[in-house]
């Protein structure tokens, strides 16, 4: 599984900053603040994503995606659990792969493979099959939120 220690953290921080988010590196061995799953999984508090070197990249992107889909005025209230609905969770699963594609040392393929390895479950058997063939509602959700265009391309903020 690809971890934060394996990639250029400055690129991740820059990507998150485009959405008004901060990445806070947690020292190795320390508990991750705001982690829903515990262990090495990323955490959320307000507009900050917390991660250690051993945090899986897909986890960090997933938690960041939860903040990205929220209106900025709601982000400050987030602590540990940001999910508002199943529809939002589905959209976040798609968005995390799109964010991975924006990181040259990650890519969507790696995010999707690591989602499968971690244990995400989808009706069609894989994260890739979900995103490509079973996520029309999630894509529509992301389009309504202004995060992707009709061609299913990520709209990056300036």
Count how many Cα atoms sit within 13 Å of the Cα of residue 72 in the half-sphere of its side chain: 5
* Residue 158, pLDDT score: 77
Residues 70-112: tens digit of each pLDDT: 988 899 999 998 877 889 999 999 999 999 999 999 999 999 9
Q: What is the mean pLDDT of each run of 10 residues along the chain (158 residues)?
A: 97 97 97 94 97 98 96 90 86 96 96 91 86 92 95 90
* Residue 72, pLDDT score: 85
């Amino acid at each position: 599984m690809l971890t934060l220690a394996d990639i250029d953290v400055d690129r991740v921080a820059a990507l998150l900053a485009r959405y008004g988010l901060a990445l806070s590196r947690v020292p190795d061995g320390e508990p991750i603040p705001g982690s829903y799953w515990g262990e090495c999984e990323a955490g959320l508090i307000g507009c900050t994503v917390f991660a250690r070197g051993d945090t899986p990249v897909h986890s960090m992107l997933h938690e960041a995606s939860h903040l990205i889909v929220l209106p900025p005025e709601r982000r400050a209230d987030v602590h540990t659990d940001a999910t508002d609905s199943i529809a939002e969770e589905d959209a976040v699963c798609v968005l995390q792969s799109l964010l991975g594609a924006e990181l040259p040392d990650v890519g969507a393929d790696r995010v999707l493979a690591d989602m499968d390895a971690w244990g995400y479950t989808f009706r069609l058997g894989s994260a890739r099959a979900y995103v490509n063939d079973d996520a029309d509602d999630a894509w529509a959700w992301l389009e309504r939120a202004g995060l992707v265009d009709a061609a299913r391309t990520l709209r990056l903020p300036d």
